[in-house]
Amino acid sequence: MIEETSFQVIDQKARQAANAYQFLKNTTIKERAAFMNAVADKIEALGGNLLTTAHAETSLPLARLTGEKARTIGQWRSYAKAVTTGIYTEARIDLPQASQAKADLRKYNVGLGPVAVFGASNFPFAFSTAGGDTASAIGAGCPVIVKAHPAHPETSQIMADAIAEAVKEFGWPEGIFSHITGKSNDIGAYLIQHNEIKAAAFTGSFAGGKALFDLGNQRKEPIPVFAEMGSINPVFAFQNQLTVKAEQLAKEYAASLTLGVGQFCTNPGIFIAEAGDSFERFIAALQNEILNIIPVNMLHKGIFENFEKYKKLICSQPDVSTISEVNSDISEWEGRAIVIETTAANFIKNNILSEEVFGPFGIIVKCNSKDEMLQIAQQLQGQLTITIAATNEDVHLNIDIMNIVKDKCGRLLFNGMPTGVEVVYGMQHGGPYPSTTDARFTSVGPDAVKRFVRPIAFQNWPDEFLPEELKNENTLQISRIVDGEIHSGSLKN
């Protein structure tokens, strides 16, 4: 039984978070980084109970969960390292007379305030209670209230206890991190509309993300809601590459499409190519690859039922045919891989075919010409990723398509497949609407911290009252822009 957190308890936790925000405002980047590393240590020390609990609640294999735990620890540590460099404070100092400024002006970034984080179902560690949203918000100087995902409540509680233990050991206010539970959508709606909440982060469905985004913007004081809401992640395969790699592309596509039973936000749901002998070779090879996929249980019954529902909806559309489908006796909620085919003309006119099916489901779109590939590119909505399967010559011959797809995604791949999101500075895990609500930001990599800060400028303030990041003596040893130039030393008093 999942306990439904009452509105009164949410009120209490929100007030505690607001008080904790005042505390965090006076911590340095090095102090917050030390806390983040301590949380990483706590998660690393969690024993087998964490993995077995998550396995029981999500059906994810222990090997996958072991890797995800390591990724989660790495997120906290890498984000801590990024925070301690001062890169997200963006300290700027303009001294009177030395620059065009007539006053002493100093600006840096400060946390927005308490952040509501909504856990994801498909990553019980890395995108949930102790995931990247929580880590990046705390790194920015923001307390966090997590709404646990009801699909893995015990896993969420274990992670929440680890963070709470670190808070207690540091002697920080309890409101630095809070954890609420419940199945009712009313709890999330109440949380995001609470006047103490200043931002929110969400990973999940379009319907859920858009609902939270609308609530955040309808408040008396609107707040930013950073929602990652999914993507069909198209693959455009061009003629020269398809000619030399048809069979290999089929193998790569099938593996990426069905990775994690198709329950990643970057599984490539659409494959687009021109008709011809190479296309037929690809289809033949893909048919065999799909038949070799062994079905396993999806995350939970609700996801399985939605997969079956939307799979049937799309397969019932006119002018679609099944290329290959895994057949098996359904055990609880197995995700059986299926790939269908349609024409470019049908794909262009039927918007239902562009809807995401969360699971191992792919559509192969056969184009009669380059012009049809261009039309598909122009019609696409915003995506997390778009993949270009091409030779260099293919790119030269299709510059018009390349220019279009740059406007439609956050990450543009040249060959390879989009599954596998690396937690590094260069990663962009976000994209134009409707893949996310704000294409300017990423939810993966240290730059995720940028979502939760805002600038504040200090004019003519005595040095002793300035934040450490802006004082003359650069005790934090961070790089600052002083009078228009990068400067890492101290300033003369």
Average pLDDT, the chain: 96
Summarize the confidence of residues 94-117 as an average pLDDT.
Answer: 91
* Residue 318 CB neighbours (<10 A): 8
Q: Where are the alpha helices (DSSP H) in 193-319?
A: 206-218, 239-258, 277-291, 301-315
Amino acid, single-letter form, for residue 388 = I
Cβ atoms of 179 and 156 closer than 8 Å: yes
Mark whether 367 is an active-site residue.
Answer: no
Question: What are the residue ranges of CATH 3.40.605.10 in the chain?
Answer: 7-229+439-453
328-368, pLDDT tens digit by residue?
A: 766 678 999 999 999 999 999 999 999 999 999 999 999 99
Specify the pLDDT at position 332: 78
Looking at residue 102, what is its pLDDT? 87
The reported pLDDT for the residue numbered 460 is 97
Q: Tell me: the pLDDT tens digits for 190-205?
A: 999 999 999 999 999 9
Which pLDDT value is given to residue 99?
A: 65
Model pTM greater than 0.85? yes
Tell me what pLDDT residue 366 has: 98
CATH class, range 234-414? alpha beta
136 three-state secondary structure: helix
> Is it the case that residue 50 has pLDDT exceeding 80?
yes
Q: Give residue-wise pLDDT tens across range 239-289.
A: 999 999 999 999 999 999 999 999 999 999 999 999 999 999 999 999 999
pLDDT more than 70, % of the chain = 99
- Looking at 3.30.565.10, 3.30.930.10, 1.10.10.10, 3.40.605.10, the CATH number of the domain 7-229+439-453 comes to 3.40.605.10
Helices 153-170 and 29-45 pack at an angle, to 10 degrees, of 130
Q: Is the pLDDT of residue 493 over 70?
A: no
Q: Residues spanned by CATH 3.40.309.10 within the chain? A: 234-414
Q: Catalytic site residue 228?
A: yes
Q: Of 228, 252, 289, 356, which residue is the catalytic one?
A: 228
Per-residue pLDDT, 333: 87
Q: At residue 28, does pLDDT exceed 70?
A: yes
Tell me, what DSSP letter sits at residue 448?
G
Whole-number pLDDT of residue 329: 67
Confidence of residue 98 (pLDDT cuts 50, 70, 90): low
Catalytic residue among 142, 196, 252, 265: 265
What pLDDT band is residue 100 in, cutting at 50, 70 and 90?
confident
Pairing of strands 320-325, 338-343: antiparallel
Confidence of residue 306 (pLDDT cuts 50, 70, 90): very high
Alpha carbons 458 and 478: distance in angstroms, whole number: 18
Query: Which pLDDT belongs to residue 330?
Result: 63
pLDDT tens, residue by residue, 64-73: 999 999 999 9
